[in-house]
Structure 1
Amino acid sequence: MARKSKKQRNAEQAERQQKVRDEAKVRRRPGRDDLARMLLWQMITAAQGQKDPYRAVGKVRDALVEQLERQGFDVRESEEVFHELADRYSDGLFPFRPKRHLTLGIED
């Protein structure tokens, strides 16, 4: 049996991945990025509620930036992205838009 071409293998992989995404949507299953986004928001807002919020947020920032640096990201750029998110989360409002595709067809 001849080996499938790279183009055919990629097409089959794309089809499998689309099936996984479609099934996750039907099951309303959050992905890794959804969980990470929510966790970061909770960590930042919890740190901002501490007795010394600047120190607490700084600890969260330092821990995250250190790990990003280990992966090869620039320290200053990582700190800038963190501070942009922390500023966005500082108003206390829930910063995420509803996932409309998850609520379609659901009866209230």
Structure 2
Amino acid sequence: MTKKSKKQRNAEQAARQQSVRDEAKARRRPSRDDLARVLLWQMIVAAQRRKDARLALDKLSEAIVVDLERLGFDVRESEDVFEGLADRYSDRLFPFRPKWHLKPRPFDLQS
């Protein structure tokens, strides 16, 4: 049996990945990133609701930035990104666009 070429292995991997994405879409399964986005939004909004909102946000930011630094990210840049998200989420409205491809369509409904 001959070894597959890199091009062939990459094509097979792309097909497998597309199959995984299609199945996740059909099952309406959230990705790790979807889950992380919603969790971070909930954590920021919960911190902003506290009496000591600034202290709570600072603690949350510090905990997140320390881990981002451990991963190799710049501390100041990480703080800027966190503060930008905290500002964006300050109105407490759900900030994410609907995933229209996941919404059932009338012809998808089975009675």
Q: What's the TM-score bracket when you normalise by the shorter of the two chains? A: over 0.9
Q: CA deviation at 1:54?
A: 0.1
Unpaired runs of 5+ residues, structure 2, are none
* Secondary structure of 1:93's aligned partner: coil
Identity of aligned residues (%): 70
Could you list the per-position Cα deviations for residues 17-68 of structure 1 after superposition, in whole angstroms to 9, with x for gaps in the alignment?
Answer: 0000000000000000000000000000000011200000111100000000
Q: Distance in 2 between matches of 1:11 and 1:58?
A: 46
Count of equivalent residues: 107
Task: Please state if 1:2 is matched with 2:24.
Answer: no
Q: Which residue of 2 aligns with 1:73?
A: 73
Task: Please state if 1:25 is matched with 2:25.
Answer: yes
Q: Distance in 2 between matches of 1:32 and 1:92?
A: 22
Q: CA deviation at 1:104?
A: 4.2
Q: Distance in 2 between matches of 1:15 and 1:51?
A: 51
TM-score (structure 1 length as normaliser): 0.96
Kindly report which structure 2 residues correspond to 1:19-58, keeping only aligned pairs within 5 A, or say none: 19-58=19-58
